[in-house]
Structure 1
Amino acid sequence: MFVLTDFLLSVSSAISVNPWRRSADSLSDLVRRFNDLEQRLEMQEKLNAEQEKVIEILNIKNEKLQEAVETLSSAKEKKQRNDYRLKLSKGSKTIMRNETATEFGMNSDQKSSTSHAPSSQINCCEKPLLTLQYKKHKGRSVTGGVAFHAYLSHNENNPGSHQTIIFDNIITDIGGNYNQHSGDFICPENGVYTFSWTLFCSRGGYIYSQIVVNSNSVGALFCSGQGADEIRATTGVVVVEINQGDVVYIRTHPSNPIVGTLYSKTTYRSSFSGWKLF
């Protein structure tokens, strides 16, 4: 009888104590897990901080790399333009020699044969020659000056960044220093020059552009058609002192985005002009 009573008391005591023990074990387990999570969070925050430092260093290196690439690109572009200018100069000298030979008439054999011709034949040949000279120089009475004006003969759809705008149709080119194939004006002599350029952009679009001497931007403009019902136009003007052999041209901005179309039609023209002041 006493044995049974002791057994029941022990079972009852076990039943009443175990739930508290289980609760205490669960609480200690939660505390342990919470501490573990805190440690992991601290470690993750340290890793994030280190990664942010690495990203910052990489961004700085990337900016320096971009600057180096732009410098190399500008140097390469300048070298190409100088090489092109030398070729153009050599070609111009050859053309001038050929034109001089043509303008002053004939070769030595033709001159010798003409010297023995009757005077009536000589007079007959001289008249067309004088007429040819008059036609050739007609409209070129202005000499010794430097001036040009050219416009874009077509639309440029979605022009890219760092793109030379080639105004391919020449209206005026006193001195012959503007190249309609490359868009370059090659300075013939030291002095102070005025340059002007006008761009038309599409409705809702915008264009960043620069005027560049060799590889240095000396002026810029922003043409925006955002919020407009029709196309928009913007004109830029610079007065700059440049040296003989310097190359002047218009380009889109090297990094700013270009949106829409660069317009040039018969009713409105995107154009590029320049002239020497003194």
Structure 2
Amino acid sequence: MGDSQISALMSPAVWRIVDAAGTVHHSHLTAAQADAFLPLMLAAGHFAGIRSERMDAPAIAENTATPPIAAAMMAEAAISKAMMDIEPGAERSALIDALAAHKRASECVDRAADVVRRAKEMHEARQHEVDVLTAARENDIRAGAANLVDALKSGTAVFRSDRPIDSRALLDAETRRDAAREAVDMLDAEHQAADVAHKKAESAVRLAIMAVKRYAVRGMVERLKDIKREYSALAATVEAAKYSDVPATPEASAALQSPAYSGEATTSAAGRWRRYTELLRDNPALELEDVE
């Protein structure tokens, strides 16, 4: 089973990128590929409300998605481009920096969300104040109308029977309500900006984790090359022994067979990679060998 199959086991290609209108720009992406694409499209600024979501989410516009193979190739190109900022050998440092930035972004978006919540509560309180004063004013209007009706029926001087209605308190309350609503809009915009920054920080963490894992795999590949060279030389020596009065044995024949690995072993290794991915967030110095 190859690297692409292992990746499929670890992260199924069930994600897509859509905009606020529901137009699908890319589909059949893994979570990592979607996270690599998203900050690049956000930075371009040409797509309103761009986001990633699972493909089983309902679409609200015509599907204009890129074909799966092309999308995967484009995603890999985007990932490789995004990783160019990470210097070879500095993957762990990049991950530490990305995790620190992610923590700051998380705190920022949490604070922004809390401020928006309190602003909405204030707006609701001021709206309630307006509602109470509006009801009182309407009662005053109805009472004034009743007095006016009585005056007109009895022939009393109309102007002397009119009750003055003071709307200044209501106008002040409406002004405070409108100010609170404007504050909510301003804080909402700040929260959205913080949320975008948080998503970019999350993408940076995922990219850094991918860089750490790819660096680890490069080391494993070099190790495999050395093992294969050693195996080839040793296998040739054992095979050639039969030409030097050393009879072949069943053990030798079995040892000369190419090594194989089972699907179960690959599935187990994929699970180990998945756990490693999760644990790197808490311990960026962790090595794959330390993961059971």
Q: So what's the TM-score if we normalise by structure 1?
A: 0.31
Q: So what's the TM-score if we normalise by structure 2?
A: 0.30
**Which one has a bigger Cα radius of gyration?**
1
Higher fraction of helix: 2
